[in-house]
Structure 1
Amino acid sequence: MHLAQKYGPDVSEELLEDHIPEASAPSWDDVTIDHALDMTTGNYSSAGYQADEAGPTMSSFFLAETYTDKLTAALSYPHKAAPGSIWTYHTSDTFLAVRAMDDVLEEREGAGSDIFAMLRDEVLEPAGVGPDSLTTLRTDNAPTGAPFGGYGMFWTQDDIAKVAKLLVADDGVAGGTQVLHPGLLDASLQRDASDRGITTGGPTPFHYNNGFWARDFSSADNAAFTSPFSVPFMSGFGGITVALMPNGSSYYVFSDNNEFAWRDVVAESNKLDPMTGG
């Protein structure tokens, strides 16, 4: 969203193969940054809900320390569907998107530019985040390695609350400056009815768009929900949820026992008056 704010939203439609030389195989033809962020590359082993994420290829990806090994694992899924058609969750797809975005940044700002440094300096710090949450794990266990993208950051309560506020209550404005592209932000937060992303599989279908999940709510969930609405949320391994409520409030929980229960929170948030912005 910050790249799009700086260089236009078309950056999301740039092809992975144009920015990652190793992605030049036919199976990655026509796969865009947006497809990778939506988990719709069309390359997967199983379309079962979260089956690939728990499979051997992702184990190899997570355990790989070198850039070459991590990239090789990320690109190893077989081609099975047209890009944009089938949702299959891979943390490795976010890694690929970040690698492509890093190259987009280098093209615009020169060699040595770093996508995480841009995020830190131009988004997180203006939003008041830090210092504990201004670093990330990188390949090769080296400060010059590639940022993992899909994981590898460490959050304090204060910092995750500020990021949530930046997204939902402040509408992407930090330090008085629009740092997140409004159009992509609206789509990510389910505010754009023409771009709700793709519907996931699993027992509870969600929307998934630009790395954000979303769940629909209606009077069938709670009589107080007189008009249908959607709650976008970020979800992390083991039991992490950051839910971004339509009224501008937010809710976060970090746990490690695979509990993702936060539906009751939505009813409590619904009692609040709208926050500033949002």
Structure 2
Amino acid sequence: MSTVRYQSAEYGSHPLIFLQSHRPLAGSLRALFSEHRAYFLDTIRLNEAASAGCMTLAQWSQPENFSRLNTLYSDFIYREHGEQPRENKPLQSLWAQWYFGLVLPPLMMALLLENRALDCSPEHIHVEFHETGRAAAFWIDVQEDEEARYLSPRRRMDRLIQQFLIPAVEGIERHGDINGKLIWSNSGFAVHWFLGELAPLLGPGLHAELEHAFFFSRSLSDGSDNPFYRTMLPRDGEMQRRTCCQRYRLPAVQQCGNCTLKPV
């Protein structure tokens, strides 16, 4: 079994846990997920041939494909409420929550707990869509991002934002029914939640550093705008999402337990 030990020399003042192994990167990530979050392997396929119908970002974001997926998901959500006007904004908000909720935690774990950096370029990631139109699984062509191997944890997260997240958010936003700020707000909540899940492995210092970088820094390390800035805010002694995700507007979809709105 792979061993885990602390390293701090090359990665700043805070200790970062790295998985030390000479096995191929896909095998190391599979072992990492198996040890800490085995359920990831239900929806994340590493170096397996993508099934028929899987699409990369460049493919699913094309108007004809996105429209088809949106229609399938709308038909599913409104299947028992045909008389109700359909609203694409909350529909795509929930669709995006499925998409990023499934893929973000595994990518974060891979980049923060493995010494080699996974290449998260969109062309290396195929998405399998459920019959209802939402994301169901991600098939990753595992390759090492050699330029990112010795980057600090914060800079690895910045690279994830720029390399993978911004193109995916733009791929949804370009169709005109939802603005990117709402998607970033939803994704910010997912990031904050999973940082908390990783806190025992990262240590309090690194966890605090990453939380600050994600939510309290206006800029990424290269000076570009940080899209997660203030998507989570301190309220009543805890971090809370800034805005409502709008999912409550969909039929038979309950308000989030931590919704920013008053009960409806």
The TM-score normalised by the length of structure 2 is 0.27
Could you say which structure has the higher helix fraction? 2
Structure of higher RCO (CA pairs closer than 8 Å, 6+ residues apart)? 2
The TM-score normalised by the length of structure 1 is 0.26
